[in-house]
A and B are shown apart, each in its own frame.
Chain A
Amino acid sequence: MKSIALLLAAAAAFGADPPVKVRLPTSRADLENGEKLYQANCALCHGTKGDGGRGAVLAGRKLARAADDAALVKVIEEGVRGTEMPGAWQLSAREGRQVAAFVRSLSRVSSKPVPGDANHGAELYAQNHCSACHAIRGLGGSAGPDLSDTGLRRNPAFLRTSLTDPEAELPRSYQLVSIRTNSGSAITGARLNEDSFSIQVRDSSGKVHSLWKHEIAELKKERGKSAMPSYKQLSSADLDDLVAYLSSLKEAS
């Protein structure tokens, strides 16, 4: 019995379905309804802007489990086996496609050419020591987010704001914490994990600190704060160049 079940599961997993071409709706009404359905059904886990949370980040052009629109519709309709992602069979076929269209719109990076000189932006990136905290294709620090595919995930306006006002919109999972231990050490960094009994923090040098709660004298959550400094002192032209460089980073993970 068990082996038959496994075989059936394997057949399903490796997809006996023939490839299906799916066209997602494009009208404003469809997108609006897709957004409404998304906010009601998906946002709780995936974030209102697709920035993730309990569920995966959807605001990236390449979705790991939905390489094309047909796969995306299938994930929405059937869920992802073995994960918490349920199938939204309560939606009609049309509604499922509307949600898919909205999800795709979350990740639509502006098709307008990005003003600025990406090559000069790369120089500015080096001059401003961005790599002390950020890695690109394996080179750089780990205190800040890896930027190898930031051009896929973030649009230029978002990137520009991130440079001038890093605290304007923080990633949902980001939490800067300041800790004073019982032995008197001070640690500041991004929280990697926290549960009832322990916390793990990465400081600005990339070092990971693991502490039991009973070892901590004070744990302060710096809400809305980012360890990233503002680069608003850069000229508008330099910011354009830096954004152009960051927008060019599109290495799929």
Chain B
Amino acid sequence: MRAARFIMVILGWAGASSAQDPFNVPYERIRDANKEPGNWLTYSRDYTGQRYSTLDLINVSNAGRLRVAWVHQAKEADTVETSPLVVDGIMYISEPPNIVKALDARTGSALWTYRKQIPTDLRMCCGRVNRGVAILNDAIYYGSIDAHLIALDARTGRVRWDTQLADYKLGFTSTGAPLAVKDKIITGIAGGEFGIRGFIDAHDAKTGKRVWRFNTIPGKGEPGNETWAGESWKTGSASTWVTGVFDPESNTLFWGTGNPGPDWNGDVRKGDNLYSDSLLALDADTGAKKWHFQYTPHDEHDWDSTQTPTLVDTMVGGQPRKLVTLANRNAFYYALDRGTGRFVAGAPYVKQTWASGLDEAGRAMLLPNTSPTAEGHLLWPSLGGGSNWYSSTYSPKTDLYYVNAKEAGAYYHKGEAEYKPGALFNGGGQRENPAEEGYGAVRALEVATGKLRWEYRLHTPSHAGLMTTAGGLVFGSSGSTFFALDAVKGSLLWRFDTGGEIIANPITYLNEGKQYVLVAAGHGLFVFGLD
């Protein structure tokens, strides 16, 4: 405790960019995140999911002079995918496989470290990853790889409470950053390759008690259950592994759902398979569904729709509209009315060969013979999708939506699908298309239509998120290189090769009046600033 108080004194003097208390972040501070642009208080900075910062000290005129300020090495073998939080000079990160740390945002030095004991017989499809934490009041919230939600004292890292979300032995894991909303911690769940039944949970931030749960697959007798043949709904997955967004004005959570299970064999789950591959609009207090929009009915290609959606207020056809937008893994960009969930506009943003287009309601018009086969069926986009879990970004300054796009096709295989508790429930797989070298691109889309404005082509398809700033910049990554583009022109302004693959979303923050940009790369964090 004495050490913690000493740190508070130091940071109060040296690190704070405002007069706020770094260990007290009530809901109102997150809701009004634009009032403190030097901080990064929630996964996407604010509730809109735009991953846009109003900071402009680093801008198109000086981004070329960015240089490394500090590096924090994780000392773990797994890749760091965290999107840090920064509160008045203190940074909160997760590190794989089981660690949460508070760092001095000025130097990268660790102030405290929490390490969870985790079992050795974890079930995961895709590595022991974690993408960040949430802060509310004086606590840090962390979803662990063995599917627990944990509250830590923000000053010391000491455990306040530890609540099991679900049984990891059945394939449930937690990899996404929780979302703090009012007095609750909202969290999704991963495990879509294990025949789980997905859910979105709200827990009381003080006690850890569950307040509500929304099952992403309706139970017997509930509307939507009829979209699953027989008992297939029980093992239909529809996970919720990426952080959603919140609209305080309408008190609505927007959260994406993942693939139906088994992934590549749809024969055993005939029907649309609601609410897999959907966007759910839920009442934040009760978890009651307001509407849903299913992007890929009866998906047979593992095109999760879990990407963080983006809340955008813009003009459509001369009228102001409140939209929720998403560049989906299925290759289409969608703009929906966020009050009703009705389709406003959509268009493919990468090559796709599975649909002839979207109908008036936004439903994909399926082409014949697009299902996986035993021999393998070549289709675009690949399993990784046109984009994936990493964040897209929207800049209100340019009114453009920027997506990290991937151009590639794949051979999709159908295999046997027998559910065994805790075992992979894939029903097939994919293999790469040897005749094609896939590539990536940062694409700037008109937010109201999805029309391409420009692209910056990348040799290596990237698995990293984007961020825009009021400095007129788009930050992104390709392989191990972190770079800045001109948000209007799409031209390269700066790059730095970190030497470690970047599979993370960037953030930016202020410390001692200077702006910094950060991205996790390989096994560490790289922070950049101007001299």
B-binding residues in A (CB < 8 A): 1-2, 5, 36, 39-41, 43-44, 48, 53, 81-84, 86, 89-90, 172, 194-197, 213, 221
Contact = CB atoms under 8 A, between A and B. Distances in A.
Nearest to B410: A44
8 contacts: A40-B413, A40-B426, A44-B431, A90-B424, A195-B460, A195-B481, A196-B459, A197-B478
Contact of B479 (A82, A83, A196): A196
Contacts of A89: 121, 123
Nearest to A44: B431
A81 to B, nearest CB: 7
Contact of B127 (A84, A196, A221): A84
Interface string B429-447: 1111010010010000000
A214 to B, nearest CB: 9
Contacts of A5: 115
Given A36-B415, A195-B459, 8 more contacts: A40-B413, A40-B429, A44-B431, A82-B77, A89-B123, A196-B459, A197-B478, A221-B437
Contacts of B480: 195
A196 B424 contact: no
A40 B415 contact: yes
Contacts of B432: 44, 53
B181 interface: no
A13 to B, nearest CB: 11
B495 interface: yes
Contacts of B426: 40
Q: Which 6 A-B pairs have the closest CB atoms?
A: A82-B77, A90-B424, A196-B478, A40-B429, A196-B459, A196-B458
Nearest to B77: A82
Contacts of A195: 459-460, 478-481
A221 B495 CA distance: 25
B71 interface: no
B38 interface: no
A132 to B, nearest CB: 29
B312 interface: no
Most buried by B among A5, A41, A194, A195: A195
Contacts of A172: 434
Given A36-B415, A196-B478, A81 B430 contact: no
Interface residues of B, number: 28
Contacts of B437: 221
Nearest to A42: B429
Interface in B433-489: 434, 437, 440, 458-460, 478-481
A39 B77 CA distance: 27
Interface in B483-502: 495, 497
B123 A39 contact: no
Contacts of A84: 127
Given A5-B115, A82-B77, A195-B478, A43 B431 contact: yes
A41 B429 contact: yes
Contacts of B124: 86
A197 B495 contact: yes
Contacts, number: 53
Nearest to B416: A36
Given A44-B429, A89-B121, A194 B424 contact: no
A51 B430 CA distance: 17
Contact of B115 (A1, A41, A83): A1
B493 to A, nearest CB: 13
Interface string B119-133: 001011001000000
B210 to A, nearest CB: 29
Central interface residue in A2, A86, A196, by most chain B CB within 10 Å:
A196
B431 A39 contact: yes
A40 B478 contact: no
Contact of A90 (B77, B423, B434, B481): B423
Contacts of B121: 89
Nearest to B194: A90
A44 B430 contact: yes
B481 A196 contact: yes
B428 interface: yes
B487 to A, nearest CB: 18
Contact of B459 (A82, A86, A194): A194
Contacts of B460: 195-196
B127 A39 contact: no
A81 B122 CA distance: 13
Contacts of B77: 81-83
A150 to B, nearest CB: 22
A210 B430 CA distance: 34
Contacts of A1: 115
Contacts of A90: 123, 423-424
Nearest to A82: B77
Contacts of A53: 432
A8 B480 CA distance: 32
Nearest to B171: A90
Contacts of A83: 77
B81 to A, nearest CB: 13
A195 B462 CA distance: 11
Contacts of B495: 197
A83 B429 CA distance: 21
A191 B478 CA distance: 18
A25 to B, nearest CB: 19
B269 to A, nearest CB: 19
A53 B434 CA distance: 11
A2 to B, nearest CB: 8
A121 to B, nearest CB: 32
Contacts of B459: 194-196, 213
A34 B432 CA distance: 20
A197 B77 CA distance: 26
A44 B408 CA distance: 14
Of B424, B428, B480, most buried by chain A (CB within 10 Å of CB) is B424
B336 to A, nearest CB: 32
B491 to A, nearest CB: 12
